[in-house]
Structure 1
């Protein structure tokens, strides 16, 4: 179930005020309910029994822990069962006898099919919690998991104390297993020696090794790369890469590592040795994995940077040569037109000039060959880039070109050669590098071989044919996918999960039929003059006709937002939290005090805006810097932020007005660049604004909620992260699945289009270049004569068939969660050219793109829908920039989990604004319509909730928590405490 559906599960009370939305979505009596109540109870007891049914249905536990009943719930229930509501909205006023209360509980439990937990149920729950505890960060997560497990099985949720005992027991059992695993990895005194080693000072004695390891990489530079690999070498010297921690799941290792990161080293020394060793071992292991990934990413960027510099030098050299040629041509013209000399003298002098031109102009060289030569001449920096990676234990496929060149380079490097020895047996470097590597000059040949090795190794690492075992993202490809043995045994089951045919022939038959129908649709559009096949062989189409210039929607929108009025951002956060309780998810429990809730809001603002902890502490009265910092550290859990976002999105999309904006089965995805310091190592220069930035990639549903977010690197293809967002969203069964995702050109590749189709949705790009507007077809394929010039017969059905099994295995690995779509597209993307799986996906993607283009060109409504989805994404980007108006601080975002927290918090704040606006728009529209003001649904469809001019995001922030205390604070603590029924 979705996170929002569990909002009231496990609660023992209700807020004093219940929103109309909650009343409509959670507390409704069906006709069968009303009939059963009328048959079973007299008038004086019917209302009480109805309240018991309503509460137990959504909470999963009995109604016996509060005295106040929301008045609108009381009125609704009384009206539904046909009795008058009492003037006092109190449980004590309704239940004057405990026997009646107990009898109603028993009847409601039987009527709803709820049962008490049995010993067998408890054993099964214990096993489930033990599995959950493998990657849980806190017992609060297990308590929530227990509530949801019991609720899904229609078992009454017992007391909070009993839930806490189960959670602690499961957590303790898993912790004992982890301690045993760590003890096996570091037996005897090795654990104490490890603790002592990491807490010793490292030269020059200003910090311990642990503090040094916790320091995140700074700006991108050769020095940073060297420092990162120095940490990798230190970790390997401790034997970290040899520890067998296979019994500890990665998520749990990361949770322990997070504890070390957020705690001062002196505090770590104070905890008991057993737990200290577990946390330390997991921290060191996670650091090795993350630092190895970071080093390989930095090395790849460095090699690309050297290649780009070589291209710039080659281009400059080419320009200088062109200028020299022009000068020589002018000089030659002057000689030939010199009337003071006879024709024989002019011919002889012209011959001398032409001989010089032939010698200096390298007419036969391509630009690519010039770049390779320039890269080979940059010997010092190329050598440094390779030498710094020498201590990494690269593994590779036996025949991989990059791996073979790396092995040969290491062997020659150990012999300290500065030139290629005569008769050296070198691996094949390819025809492009052969002239340089096998030249006559041994030193130049060595420089060329190093450059060739650097580029070949980068490509092999990207496609996964070369890997490092102690890595997260750069592991062997087969380790990421379903193992060949598992695939052979359960192939049919995996394919059934995908819902696609087992053979390529069965899959391609309807695809080709659809393609034929689509081409005839384009022919019809050509005959109507909407599409034209140009002389360049490209398909050209006219712009979409503008919507009627009706001023009423704009005027109505302005009137609605004027009616909503100006509001402070803290009030927006509080109202949405009261409606969704996203703070419960972020904390892992209901807030126990106003100060705890205030610190959470401060942390959310510090992560999700340009403000830092000190800024937030100054802007929120009564909040201290240390409280904000502690809350920020506790929020660095991607799962909690994801669930909090789900709650807000589900609430926003459930508002009736949102149904006018879409059916909920379509979305768009795009990147927003957050300005960042150049000190952030993974920042890139935004080509539009020419500033350093980090990317936040968001998926916006057609009902205007951000359903998925993830940080990415600028200037890289986004097809993988686009697919990942939809796949993650579609995994929850009780929500409408996304069937269409609109993206821009950066979010599209042919391989990505194939994988998205196999995963059950369509990737629909708004292509920028006309060169993309060709129809790719198989060779033996008949087409209408009008489209002959606009087709390209470069699709091989045989290639699709040969790689079909591997392609299905790749898609099934994504579906089962073994590998993310983003990582899969990196390993099987353009770097994997020549691989059968890439070839099959590429050719299938060309076919699918042709079908999509036919619909895009011929069907105006479809094209308008794609543009509308993408335009909504741009509107939300403006709101996101209003929320995050500055840039990422210098010291922020250097670690993956920190950048993920920034992305999730920013998406949550954006969703809060969208949910608030949607709710207020709906209330305003209903109020205006009740006053006989005409507001058409078509007008509302052309509006959106991404407005922010009425919200003040800056200045002193006052959170009036008192107004929402009963909805947001634990009823057993502080001002929200309520008396239990006696």
Structure 2
């Protein structure tokens, strides 16, 4: 553990003013009350009174005395002099060298109760507080240092020397880490320790260690791949690693060690001290069980989806082949039916005449042919499935042996049937006691034989089909797991919920009882209906068309908004002034301006840094974002760009948590720009996805011919603010329904911006989403592509809403909401506090063929908000145009993303989920850098235009966009250097458009 972890800048700013205090800080720390004035009044001379006040304010603000007491920012002197009614303080400089200042410092320390850190009680309380922080979190030493300084200032403790506090924190972290290592190693037998250590040894004749093999998850979708994945899970379980429950080790600490073991080279782990090496392996195996189980279930999900999907395709092909035979048989039966319907034929001669025209054998064959070829409406394609039973037989024994499912009430029949398969799969004659609740009507004719027994093959496919549905809805789950755990496990309950309910209700603006909130919503809906109906005759965008016996509302599309000549000219002029720049220089410049590289910490939670580390980090981020790999960036003559350095940085610094922290810094920098605030205040955000083909073998990609052709791909789902900055992103295989991931991408974003109005395209539309967003305090505002097909709901069936009466025939029932109100509050409270996964909850609430009562209640609540949104959407052109504008910003950002992600034909070539997320996270980070850099220089260009007398209209500026990239070079071999002036904080010279002509 290195003792020195502060940078030179941090060490120099410790206990010093780094700039003028803010107005709030001046009011808080430098305000003199009556007792202060009384004490200061005892000093003789204006310079002594001012110096005493400055030392007092400095101590309160910094926690220490300055060597030169008057070396403070001018606002501090002016604030204190004004309170002391000292008009001039030119002669106050003498105070800095007089002996009186030392006496004043001692007097201030004694009178105001400031103590030294060496006092026993102070050291005890500080140590206990910092120890708890270290034990429960993974904060960097610099963060702990800053928090310790804040604690000392708050508790009136004089700051010690920076090196003293540095060594103190380093020793404390070492103690915590040693405790963690010993806690993880406690209870590990010598036999288990030998097994763990053997994971690091490379067997003779092999090129990789068992640890390397365990770290590799499945990349193919096949029955063989599923068996291998399940055997990997079995190998992990055989190690028998269980964390000691009594130790109460924080999950974040275990996960941090596991991340290191999952990414570091085996040789690096071997070099660790024995206790730490053992603890690292224990943490890795403990976390790997959940990951391995998830990988196995992910292969199972895709395999079952392909199995049942291929059966549907095979049935369609078979139907096409037999269509001619079906037509012939149907034609024969049609002729027979025509004779039966002929009333002119006497009933007695009907059979004779029929067989004369159509022989009995021909009629029998036609009937048999039709019966053989027709399919019921709820066909399960069993014949095609049964042909694939060998595939199922390959993986089913391993599946039932190694996977144990938990369940809620809805999934109990599935788990009972799965457990029966486990008990009977090895028998030659399975028992006749198979649970039959799982056999739904479409399967009964295949599973149930005439003698009452079950067909084992058909029963197996029936159970797998129901398991696939239940797993997708999370009615069944496993433990431990990251992605397939019980999404309800973290819900607030019992006394915890009783204590939290009032806080949740106040935070979300909801009532503990349903009546007040529902009554207010009912009134809002009624008022909105009446207001929109009153304005409807004057709304040229809305008309009613007669479709059959119904009237349908038609909303005219928005006319293109004309761009004034001033806007076109301003856009061209600003774009022409932006400096031409290589992407590496842009990234380095943004790093220098924002310090976002400080968010990237070493994987092992140590303070490992290296010379010119920001350059290496920027190179790795660019290699990932541009999809080129590191090859174009490698320079053998520059240590920061050597191959081994870039590989080391990529493995140890770039990961989900560091990317998220760095992104928060960039978003905050963008939001501080005056230009960005003209575009929006951060209250609005939109969500949309961009698709990437994944041409490599992986289970973390899905098919969709529309987007991926004959291959597979992923969707990168983004949340974008009205300031053009990306707030959060989620990578999902294939093209998962937007409504399943929308809530997660909003709730899990970790920036300073907190948007409350969320805009999406029609894909994220569902009643449940409307309900949850309204309960959580958001306004869900999707673009409505087909208003005519939208249902308008009402609460009062007798209310007269004029022209809207014809389209608002659907009645809401508040009785469906009232009994479940407390459960709805408990759910949104748990989501708000991050106790349950949003994606998992959305899976359980999607209203399908068997929705839960809670899902029905949330959907009913959502219909109120959906109707409110639809009414205001058709009534307010500004709202429709604002939604379209924000969605266009998302599309524009995706266009820039395509331009940046140009390498390897724009295809994502990562086998594993973590690699996909990290690479696309780096892409999002670079996009935010481009937006920030463009915004900074656009602001400078606008300032220069105003200074030159050019007319710049605010309404034109509000329609500019920083999503430009023509002036940025992203191709070729790159040089990571910036001009000295830019490195010192200056801007590059703007281009003169005249020079470009």
**Quick check: TM above 0.5?**
yes
Return the match for 1:864 from 881, 899, 907. 881
CA distance in 1 between partners of 2:57 and 2:760 (Å)? 43
CA distance in 2 between partners of 1:98 and 1:357 (Å)? 118
Specify the SS of the correspondent of 1:574: helix
User: Aligned residue for 2:484?
Assistant: 474
Maintained 8 Å contact 1:684/1:692: yes
Return the match for 1:810 from 804, 819, 827. 827
Alignment of 1:43-192 (within 5 A): 123-133=124-134, 134-136=136-138, 138-143=140-145, 145-146=147-148, 159-187=161-189, 189-192=190-193
Maintained 8 Å contact 2:227/2:395: no
Specify the SS of the correspondent of 2:810: strand
Specify the SS of the correspondent of 1:433: helix
CA distance in 2 between partners of 1:881 and 1:524 (Å)? 46
Which digits, 9 at most, give the CA deviation of each residue in 1:259-309, with x for residues without a partner? 212322233223222111100000011111111112112211221121211
Specify the SS of the correspondent of 1:547: coil
Larger mean CA deviation between 263-272 and 883-892 belongs to 883-892
Q: Is residue 369 of structure 2 the alignment partner of residue 360 of structure 1?
A: yes
CA distance in 2 between partners of 1:932 and 1:550 (Å)? 19
Check 1:336–1:407 CA distance in 2 against 1; reply closer, same or farther (3 A cut).
closer
User: Aligned residue for 2:919?
Assistant: 902
Maintained 8 Å contact 1:150/1:156: yes
Q: Is residue 592 of structure 2 the alignment partner of residue 572 of structure 1?
A: no
User: Aligned residue for 1:688?
Assistant: 707
CA distance in 1 between partners of 2:52 and 2:887 (Å)? 50
User: Aligned residue for 1:712?
Assistant: 732
CA distance in 1 between partners of 2:920 and 2:946 (Å)? 39
Maintained 8 Å contact 1:670/1:743: yes
Return the match for 1:404 from 397, 407, 416. 416
CA distance in 2 between partners of 1:685 and 1:619 (Å)? 42
Q: Is residue 780 of structure 2 the alignment partner of residue 725 of structure 1?
A: no
User: Aligned residue for 1:532?
Assistant: 543
CA distance in 1 between partners of 2:914 and 2:937 (Å)? 34
User: Aligned residue for 1:211?
Assistant: 212
User: Aligned residue for 2:256?
Assistant: 255
Q: Is residue 395 of structure 2 the alignment partner of residue 393 of structure 1?
A: no
Q: Is residue 315 of structure 2 the alignment partner of residue 308 of structure 1?
A: no
TM superposition shift of 1:889: 10
Alignment of 1:423-822 (within 5 A): 426-440=436-450, 445-488=455-498, 490-524=500-534, 526-528=536-538, 529-534=540-545, 535=547, 538-587=552-601, 594-618=611-635, 621-622=638-639, 623-685=641-703, 687-690=706-709, 692-729=712-749, 735=752, 737-769=754-786, 773-778=790-795, 780=797, 782=799, 784=801, 786-791=803-808, 793=810, 795-822=812-839
Check 1:408–1:426 CA distance in 2 against 1; reply closer, same or farther (3 A cut).
farther
User: Aligned residue for 1:196?
Assistant: 197
Maintained 8 Å contact 1:697/1:711: yes
* TM-score with structure 1 setting the length: 0.83
TM superposition shift of 1:851: 1.4
TM superposition shift of 1:951: 0.9
CA distance in 2 between partners of 1:828 and 1:884 (Å)? 36
Check 1:927–1:77 CA distance in 2 against 1; reply closer, same or farther (3 A cut).
farther
CA distance in 2 between partners of 1:113 and 1:772 (Å)? 72
User: Aligned residue for 1:971?
Assistant: none
CA distance in 2 between partners of 1:693 and 1:354 (Å)? 52
The structure having more radius of gyration, on CA atoms, is: 2
Maintained 8 Å contact 2:793/2:809: yes
CA distance in 1 between partners of 2:184 and 2:25 (Å)? 52
TM superposition shift of 1:453: 0.7
TM superposition shift of 1:877: 1.0
Specify the SS of the correspondent of 1:669: strand
TM superposition shift of 1:472: 2.2
Check 1:653–1:223 CA distance in 2 against 1; reply closer, same or farther (3 A cut).
same
Check 1:784–1:951 CA distance in 2 against 1; reply closer, same or farther (3 A cut).
same
Which digits, 9 at most, give the CA deviation of each residue in 1:677-734, with x for residues without a partner? 332320224533535333322211111111222323331123353323333447x7xx
Check 1:332–1:358 CA distance in 2 against 1; reply closer, same or farther (3 A cut).
closer
Maintained 8 Å contact 1:580/1:648: yes
Ranges in structure 1 where 5+ consecutive residues have no aligned partner: 1-6, 83-92, 338-342, 969-982
Larger mean CA deviation between 116-125 and 786-795 belongs to 116-125
TM superposition shift of 1:234: 0.5
Maintained 8 Å contact 2:719/2:727: yes
User: Aligned residue for 2:90?
Assistant: none
Maintained 8 Å contact 1:607/1:632: no
Which digits, 9 at most, give the CA deviation of each residue in 1:20-79, with x for residues without a partner? xx999999989998999xx999999999999999999998887779xx99xxx9999999
Maintained 8 Å contact 1:402/1:457: yes
CA distance in 2 between partners of 1:80 and 1:875 (Å)? 51
CA distance in 2 between partners of 1:642 and 1:63 (Å)? 38
CA distance in 2 between partners of 1:934 and 1:671 (Å)? 38
Check 1:434–1:414 CA distance in 2 against 1; reply closer, same or farther (3 A cut).
same
Maintained 8 Å contact 1:666/1:738: yes
Larger mean CA deviation between 850-859 and 540-549 belongs to 540-549
Q: Is residue 882 of structure 2 the alignment partner of residue 880 of structure 1?
A: no
Q: Is residue 937 of structure 2 the alignment partner of residue 920 of structure 1?
A: yes
Check 1:909–1:336 CA distance in 2 against 1; reply closer, same or farther (3 A cut).
closer
RMSD: 4.8
CA distance in 1 between partners of 2:860 and 2:804 (Å)? 20
User: Aligned residue for 2:357?
Assistant: 348
Maintained 8 Å contact 1:135/1:250: no
Maintained 8 Å contact 2:615/2:976: no
Maintained 8 Å contact 2:697/2:911: no
* TM-score with structure 2 setting the length: 0.82
CA distance in 1 between partners of 2:797 and 2:509 (Å)? 29
TM superposition shift of 1:241: 5.8
Ranges in structure 2 where 5+ consecutive residues have no aligned partner: 1-6, 34-39, 83-92, 339-351, 987-997
User: Aligned residue for 2:964?
Assistant: 947
CA distance in 2 between partners of 1:594 and 1:47 (Å)? 45
Maintained 8 Å contact 1:667/1:701: yes
CA distance in 2 between partners of 1:549 and 1:314 (Å)? 55
TM superposition shift of 1:332: 9.6
CA distance in 1 between partners of 2:598 and 2:353 (Å)? 97
Which digits, 9 at most, give the CA deviation of each residue in 1:935-980, with x for residues without a partner? 1000011111111111112222232386566779xxxxxxxxxxxx
Maintained 8 Å contact 1:303/1:385: no
Maintained 8 Å contact 1:181/1:245: no
TM superposition shift of 1:573: 1.8
CA distance in 1 between partners of 2:933 and 2:23 (Å)? 19
Larger mean CA deviation between 518-527 and 906-915 belongs to 518-527
Maintained 8 Å contact 1:314/1:370: no
CA distance in 1 between partners of 2:739 and 2:394 (Å)? 33
Maintained 8 Å contact 1:560/1:925: yes
